[in-house]
Structure 1
């Protein structure tokens, strides 16, 4: 009996040993698989981190490139306006020369009051020239990253002031319809003015072949702040490709087709949209829509 019991105990021990052996082998196999999977996950995690870092670097590079492209577009616009601006500055310079010659002659004749009047006119001309150059320098500055309240009417007046020499040279009839109250949006005034100047330049270019060029500008406030620029040119041939980079209908040397693409990107960054269509009576119609800035008094009343 003792021998049988010893054999049974020994057999049971052998079975337990075999079971533990197979369980340990199975656990070791699972552990090896887990270690291999962990190594793969670590490798994937490192690869993902490298890819994320690369994407961030590419996005930063792209953002810098977009800002550089916007600034280059603004400087190109200034270059195109330089001829008209120089003509605008030559007029007060010629007038100043005439006033100085007259003042010199008046001083020789002891007519000091009239000479002082000439000097006052010269001072007015200098102020006018300074206003032109200040406007151009302000437009050439880079935009700000932080948004602030912007009066669309004031931005439009500033843009038209910049385009005034070209408007005079081309003798374009400008029709403006503006609301009585300020139209406020949240954005970057420099970039908004860049879009406005680009729309005005395109309208001027579109009316080059017209005998009576006309540009209508409408600023309205509703659910959005909407600026509409309408010309009486030939209209838009390809609406689908209009906002694509490097698409242009201008002659070589007159443009590279980036103005509207950059303007559309700026408006999108400001939370709005830039649209274009052909007018019912001909010509092109551009609309810039931006989220209107809510009146604080209305918000307080609603609260």
Structure 2
């Protein structure tokens, strides 16, 4: 009995140790199982999220590509109908043997094709024979070609607008063809066809490892980001389909071989997992690449966009997530063991707490000091901003006064010619009024009436002159608006008209009949024009030949005004200091040297440019302003 008890007492710790070991082993096994489960969950979740991102990104790109292609085709859809409005096109279809008509229509189609940016435009008769084309100057012109076998021509001849993608039979150049019947009084005379190049769409398709393809109703790939896939098929073509394509020569003589393309599975979101071997994949590659395929139909053309996203990156992301989860789980496990084994003393915790409190107090002091410094800086900046604002206001007021002084100086220089311009009608008014009294006393009422009418016309003319001076002398506002360049030119010419006559200056004005509008201020533009015209007249004072030229022309973006004279021109020194304030080449007392400096600043405030061109004779100044649309009330 004693031996049995002793054995039992010695065996109890062994049993306890065995149980502890078993518990440790079970704990480790549970931890490993948890790690494996976490890795699998991370792999599954990351792959799912990556594929969803690929789907969302692909759907967005498909929307962009589809809208871009639709917008391109919609832009040209109206063009064949437009040709029906040309009377020469109608006349040529009625009289195809008229060479003058054919040349006129060829030139018209060439011009429309160039302006529209299409590839080719041509007209065919009811037999499908081309009568006129925009490429009539080329050696491989379409004139005389029979295109009646093309589906788009057949559709148009049946009365339905035709649309068709195909490879050209003459130049082997692919494009999309629009066709529409040409009618006269309800009777069809022929078909107008427009060919548009859509190959440029491929350049913006898919970046990186993703690919895009556009297929027709038969599954033929005719646009793709992968050149090796072009004119391949998603599946082998049926005999009847291949025969039809050969008849219409839609893809010329391309063999239309099938791609290594297979559908593997359909996902719940409507996308598919497909397997396809891509160009450049090594031979040792285990098989066709697995990709996420998304489709988008383009009605009514029965085309289909297919966007292929490489799943290799999603798989790599999932593997990386699984590895990361294993590493993270191991790190957390090691951290747990480390925390369990490490004992922190109470003194260390108290010391750490004291250090943290001290750091917190120091941080508050530093924040308070920094806040005070920032307040001082903010106050200083506010004061500086206020000083700058007042300086800018003063500068603006000074500039306006300088502009006004410049105008007054110009008016002073013109005072002699203006006084002469007003003295003549005043003398005429006095004479005619005295004559009217005498005629009235003699009872010659008809002549009195004619005298009074003439007096009224002279007064109106004097009012026009003084009105122009009054408008020119007033201060300008600072706002910009659409200003009639024709009106500004005429107002400036009124003020120098008399001087042109006195100085015997030949004046030439080149301006379009249609009014031109520039973005500026009318009064300040007239000031610039008057300054340039006056300077030109001053420079020609000693010239044997005096000719002043004013040119105005415009395009969609700018208005250009050029003032040229036949004076002595500009020296190198004058050209270098042209817009320098108070610099002048005129004799003392005849100019302040501010005219060009003020004019250059005015044009620059308009957002334009004032410069001097180099010319062989005389001088030429050029004003460039932004074009503006006419403002209506």
TM tier relative to shorter chain: 0.7 to 0.9
In 2, Cα distance between the equivalents of 1:67 and 1:251? 27
CA-to-aligned-CA distance 1:169-221 (integer Å, 9 cap, x gap): 22221111111221111221111111111111111111111133211111111
In 2, Cα distance between the equivalents of 1:240 and 1:39? 52
User: 1:62 maps to what in 2?
Assistant: 395
The aligned runs of 1:249-260 (5 Å cut-off) are 249-260=585-596
In 2, Cα distance between the equivalents of 1:253 and 1:126? 35
C-alpha change, 1:216 and 1:63, in structure 2 (3 Å) is same
Q: What TM-score results when the alignment is normalised by the length of structure 2?
A: 0.43
CA-to-aligned-CA distance 1:43-86 (integer Å, 9 cap, x gap): 11111111112112211211111111111111221122222111
Query: How many angstroms does 1:23 deviate by?
Result: 4.0
User: 1:39 maps to what in 2?
Assistant: 372
Q: Which has the higher contact order (CA 8 A, sep 6+)?
A: 1
User: 1:108 maps to what in 2?
Assistant: 441
Contact 2:546 2:566 in 1 (8 A): yes
Contact 2:482 2:518 in 1 (8 A): yes
CA-to-aligned-CA distance 1:67-122 (integer Å, 9 cap, x gap): 11111111221122222111110011111122122222222322222122222211
Which residue, 620, 629, 632 being the options, matches 1:285?
A: 620
Which residue, 451, 469, 473 being the options, matches 1:140?
A: 473
User: 1:85 maps to what in 2?
Assistant: 418
In 2, Cα distance between the equivalents of 1:236 and 1:69? 25
Structure of greater Rg: 2
3-state SS, counterpart of residue 126 of structure 1: helix
In 1, Cα distance between the equivalents of 2:593 and 2:450? 49
Which residue, 196, 202, 218 being the options, matches 2:551?
A: 218
User: 2:406 maps to what in 1?
Assistant: 73
Matched, 1:233 2:567: yes
Contact 1:235 1:278 in 2 (8 A): no
In 2, Cα distance between the equivalents of 1:295 and 1:54? 40
C-alpha change, 1:295 and 1:95, in structure 2 (3 Å) is closer
Q: Which runs of 5+ in 1 are unaligned?
A: 1-10, 297-303
3-state SS, counterpart of residue 271 of structure 1: coil
In 2, Cα distance between the equivalents of 1:72 and 1:226? 26
Which residue, 266, 269, 272 being the options, matches 2:605?
A: 269
> Which has the larger share of helix?
1
C-alpha change, 1:19 and 1:148, in structure 2 (3 Å) is closer
3-state SS, counterpart of residue 414 of structure 2: helix
Which residue, 148, 157, 160 being the options, matches 2:490?
A: 157
In 2, Cα distance between the equivalents of 1:77 and 1:195? 11
C-alpha change, 1:295 and 1:134, in structure 2 (3 Å) is closer
Q: What TM-score results when the alignment is normalised by the length of structure 1?
A: 0.87
Contact 2:482 2:629 in 1 (8 A): no
The aligned runs of 1:165-180 (5 Å cut-off) are 165-180=498-513
User: 2:331 maps to what in 1?
Assistant: none
Contact 2:518 2:625 in 1 (8 A): yes
Contact 1:152 1:185 in 2 (8 A): yes
User: 2:458 maps to what in 1?
Assistant: 125
3-state SS, counterpart of residue 239 of structure 1: helix
User: How many matched pairs?
Assistant: 284
Matched, 1:99 2:432: yes
In 2, Cα distance between the equivalents of 1:34 and 1:213? 77
User: 2:77 maps to what in 1?
Assistant: none
In 2, Cα distance between the equivalents of 1:178 and 1:43? 61
In 2, Cα distance between the equivalents of 1:23 and 1:272? 64
CA-to-aligned-CA distance 1:142-180 (integer Å, 9 cap, x gap): 223333321111210111012212222222211111112
In 2, Cα distance between the equivalents of 1:294 and 1:97? 47
> Which has the larger share of strand?
2
Contact 1:239 1:277 in 2 (8 A): no
Contact 1:99 1:122 in 2 (8 A): yes
